[in-house]
Copies of this chain bind each other. A is one copy, B any other.
Amino acid sequence: MNVEYGNSKPLILFDPLPRSKDLIFRPQQWDRFQTLGRIIHADEGRLDPDTVDTYLPAAAALVGQTDMPAERLNRAKNLKAILNVEGNFLPNVDYETCFQKGIHVLAAAPAFAPAVAESALAFALDLARGITAADRDFRAGNEKYGLAGNCDTFSLRQADVGFIGFGNLAGALLPLLAPFHCRIRVFDPWLPNSYVRDHHCEPASLEDVLSTSRVIFILATVTTENEGFIDDTQLALIQQGAAVILMSRAAVVDFEAFVGRVAEGQFRAATDVFPVEPVPSDNPVRRVEGLLLSAHRSGGLRDSFFRIGDLTIDDLSLILAGLPPVGMQAAQRETVARFRSKPGRRYKKEEL
Q: List A residues at the B interface (Cβ < 8 Å).
A: 23, 99-100, 102, 114-115, 118-119, 121-123, 125-126, 129-132, 134-139, 141, 143-150, 153-157, 175-176, 178-181, 190-195, 200, 277-279, 281, 286-287, 292-303, 305, 310-311, 314-315, 317-319, 322-324, 326-327, 332-335, 344-345, 347, 351-352
Contacts and interface: CB of A to CB of B under 8 A. Distances in A.
Q: Which of A100, A301, A303, A318 has the most CB of B within 10 A?
A: A301
A141 B322 CA distance: 44
B194 A310 contact: yes
B303 A155 contact: yes
Contacts of A181: 200
Given A119-B125, A147-B301, A147-B347, 8 more contacts: A126-B126, A126-B132, A132-B135, A145-B278, A150-B302, A181-B200, A192-B314, A192-B318
Contacts of A145: 277-278, 295-297, 300, 345
A327 B126 CA distance: 29
A146 B86 CA distance: 13
A300 B147 contact: yes
A306 B176 CA distance: 27
A158 to B, nearest CB: 9
A297 B335 contact: no
A301 B100 contact: no
Copies of this chain assembled into the complex: 4
Given A131-B123, A311-B194, A143 B295 contact: yes
A121 B125 contact: yes
A131 B294 contact: yes
Nearest to A96: B102
Given A136-B136, A146-B347, A156 B296 contact: no
Nearest to A315: B192
A83 to B, nearest CB: 14
A149 B102 contact: no
Given A132-B135, A335-B323, A155 B102 contact: no
Contacts of A277: 145
27 contacts: A115-B155, A122-B122, A126-B126, A126-B131, A129-B298, A130-B297, A131-B131, A132-B135, A139-B287, A139-B293, A144-B295, A144-B297, A145-B295, A145-B296, A145-B300, A146-B296, A146-B299, A146-B345, A147-B305, A150-B302, A154-B301, A155-B301, A175-B179, A192-B314, A195-B326, A195-B327, A324-B335
B314 A324 contact: no
* A-B interface, 4 closest residue pairs, ranked by CB to CB distance from nearest: A192-B314, A149-B297, A122-B125, A138-B293
A173 to B, nearest CB: 10
Nearest to A318: B192
A128 to B, nearest CB: 8
Contact of A294 (B134, B293, B310): B134
A297 to B, nearest CB: 4
Contact of A347 (B139, B148, B195, B317): B148
A146 to B, nearest CB: 4
A348 to B, nearest CB: 9
A149 B303 CA distance: 13
A123 B278 CA distance: 27
A180 B180 CA distance: 14
